[in-house]
Structure 1
Amino acid sequence: MRRFQILVCDGPSCGITHESDRLVTLLKAGIAADPELKTRCHVAAFNCFGRCSEGPNVFVRPLAPNEKGEDEPREVSGLGFYPGMTEEKVATILERHAGEGTPVAEWVEEY
């Protein structure tokens, strides 16, 4: 089964203005409550996606076999960027993108 890293922007805009820390709390709780996600998903902070006005921003990316999910990557790219995350959307992303491996087409963007 694929492993995922869920990056949550903690830059000044997302972190302070958009309170991205509440999304981190929800993601970690959702992962902890699901035995399958607990073994495959990691939440990590990301410095800034550069799309501050759209925050809080989240990026879901697959992890390489030996890659540690707790470590912030130097850069990210690909289909997995979710701008303007809400508490409700986070639950759906955990279920569909992280759980089933299918990006949520109506919200996801190429980054």
Structure 2
Amino acid sequence: MLENIINLLVALSVILPIVVQLVKYIGTLTNNKKVLTLADRAMIIVSSLDSLGIANEAKKQEALGKLTNFANEVGINLSLSQAEDYIENAVQALRRLQGEVKPNSEVSNNAPKTK
């Protein structure tokens, strides 16, 4: 009987750290998915607001509202400061993409020369 208890305790002491690490890993994966979801949503929001003819501060406030509402809907805790970071990151990424894409560059480069 005592031997069975000792064997059980030894087995638990070996398995428990593995289980704890597995739970931490699963938590990290879940958190990473939330971060990616928020980053993707921020990019969608910023992209959709970019073409509107309103002031940048108004766009920022609208984006913050939309992102925090989305986070609440899907059950992600998001502070205003964190939402601002996601929006700012999305704005910078969009600006970088817009800088890489030159509108009509292929068309103007391949257009026939006028005489």
> TM-score band (shorter)?
under 0.3
**What TM-score, normalized to structure 1?**
0.26
**What TM-score, normalized to structure 2?**
0.25
Decide which structure has the larger Cα Rg and report it. Answer: 2
More helix by share: 2
Structure possessing the higher relative contact order (Cα contacts under 8 Å, 6 or more residues apart): 1
More strand by share: 1
